[in-house]
């Protein structure tokens, strides 16, 4: 069990979201589903039997999804980074997580999925490229990167060797 577990507040889509995410990430599973009972209805307003929380794991990281009602919405102040080994992995996560998401929120490898959760799909190579010892090349790489939605590793690598 992780000492720190992110808790994601959904209106009523906690179970749907957990199933969506565990269907994307390898080595992932739903661990436990808890349901609201009669107690506390005057506080939470959820009918007895409604899903309260879903504990799930994505590639070893535990998350809790909470059906807490419409009081709070996700924003870009919190996002989850996915470090990718290659372009195929970038493409895979980008395609899966953008399905039904907010296309206007896609920039520099950031995206917002259909639940409003922000993700950063980042190739590990980006860190190496942005640490180019040549400041002119580094600036060119940064300028190109800032114009991208989904990061294109090959395009950035070509700038590094120009």
- pLDDT category of residue 108 using cuts at 50, 70 and 90: very high
pLDDT (tens digit per residue) in 115-128: 999 999 999 999 99
Query: Which of 72, 92, 122 is the last residue before a domain boundary?
Result: 72
Q: Which DSSP string do the residues of 55-109 spell out, in sequence order?
A: EEEETTEEEEEEE--TT----TTSEEEEEESSHHHHHHHHHHHHTTSEEEEEETT
Looking at the structure, tell me whether residues 54 and 106 fall in a common domain: no
pLDDT (tens digit per residue) in 6-44: 999 999 999 999 999 999 999 999 999 999 999 989 888
Looking at the structure, tell me whether residues 10 and 60 fall in a common domain: yes
Looking at the structure, tell me whether residues 1 and 61 fall in a common domain: yes
Q: How many CA atoms lie within 13 A of 97 on its CB side?
A: 27
Looking at the structure, tell me whether residues 87 and 47 fall in a common domain: no
The residue range of the domain holding 35 is 1-72
Question: Taking the alpha carbons of 74, 77, 80, 81 in that order, is the dihedral positive or negative?
Answer: positive
Give the CATH number for residue 80.
Answer: 3.10.180.10
Looking at the structure, tell me whether residues 64 and 86 fall in a common domain: no
For residue 33, give the H/E element and its range. Answer: strand 29-35
pTM of the complete model: 0.92
Angle ∠(69,64,101) on CA atoms, nearest 5: 65
């Amino acid at each position: 069990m992780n000492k720190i577990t992110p808790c994601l507040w959904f209106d009523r889509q906690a179970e749907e979201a957990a199933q969506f995410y565990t269907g994307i990430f390898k080595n992932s599973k739903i661990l436990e589903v808890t349901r609201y009972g009669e107690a506390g209805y005057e506080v939470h307003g959820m009918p007895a039997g409604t899903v309260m929380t879903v504990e799930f794991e994505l590639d070893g990281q535990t998350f809790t999804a909470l059906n807490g009602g419409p009081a709070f919405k996700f924003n870009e102040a919190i996002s989850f980074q996915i470090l990718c080994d290659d372009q195929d992995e970038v493409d895979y996560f980008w395609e899966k997580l953008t399905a039904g998401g907010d296309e206007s929120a896609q920039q520099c490898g950031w995206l917002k999925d259909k639940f409003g959760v922000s993700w950063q799909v980042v190739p590990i190579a980006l860190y190496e490229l942005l640490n180019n010892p040549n400041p002119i090349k580094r600036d060119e790489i940064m300028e190109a990167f800032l114009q991208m939605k989904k990061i294109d590793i090959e395009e950035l690598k070509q700038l590094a060797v120009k």
